[in-house]
């Protein structure tokens, strides 16, 4: 009895799908200027189409699909928008991100803006790094002392 054989199957493993490098070359000088900054880190997507700048774990800027977006204060963003360096960044038409600038000018100094973002982020302490002092009231402060006194009195008798 003869068996039918299908087309010959190759035993070679399929090659891994290569991810195209979509990194914006205009971002490379920014990385070079900030890579030795204490607390600076870079996160990027697998395709490198999205690359974010972090300072002590807090986002200070990013490049996404050719757009340079940087975190500054609201007054500085308004000034740069007036100078036509960029526009206020918004994730969607109804959601404006306060203090974030999307650079639109081809003449803008990306390195200078990134350094400005680092200095602003370094100047103000992060909410997560500042611990609030525990709230104490007269009642709360006196309760542990009374409990300790009661326990000591019970043990003594």
pTM assigned to the model: 0.62
Residue 91, pLDDT score:
78
Which range is most confident: 102-106, 123-127, 147-151?
A: 102-106
CATH class belonging to 25-127: alpha beta
Does pLDDT of 6 surpass 90? no
Spatial neighbors of 24 by CB under 8 A, at least 6 apart, are: 51, 63, 66, 68
Can you list the alpha helix ranges (DSSP code H) found in the chain? 28-34, 74-82, 110-123, 138-156
Does pLDDT of 14 surpass 60? no
When pLDDT is averaged across residues 122-134 and rounded to a whole number, the result is 57
When pLDDT is averaged across residues 6-20 and rounded to a whole number, the result is 46
């Amino acid at each position: 009895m003869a068996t039918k054989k299908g087309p010959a199957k190759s035993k070679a493993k399929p090659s891994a799908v290569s991810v195209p490098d979509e990194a914006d070359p205009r971002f490379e000088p920014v990385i070079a200027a900030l890579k030795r900054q204490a607390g600076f880190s870079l996160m990027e997507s697998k395709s490198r189409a999205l690359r974010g700048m972090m300072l002590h774990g807090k986002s200070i800027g990013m490049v996404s699909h050719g757009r340079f977006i940087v975190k500054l204060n609201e007054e500085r963003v308004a000034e740069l928008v007036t100078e036509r360096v960029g526009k206020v960044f918004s994730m969607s038409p109804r959601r404006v991100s306060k203090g974030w600038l999307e650079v639109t000018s081809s003449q803008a100094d990306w390195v200078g803006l990134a350094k400005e973002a680092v200095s602003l982020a370094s100047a103000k302490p992060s909410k997560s790094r500042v611990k609030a002092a525990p709230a104490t009231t007269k009642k709360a402060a006196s309760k542990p002392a009374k409990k300790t006194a009661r326990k000591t009195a019970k043990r003594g008798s």
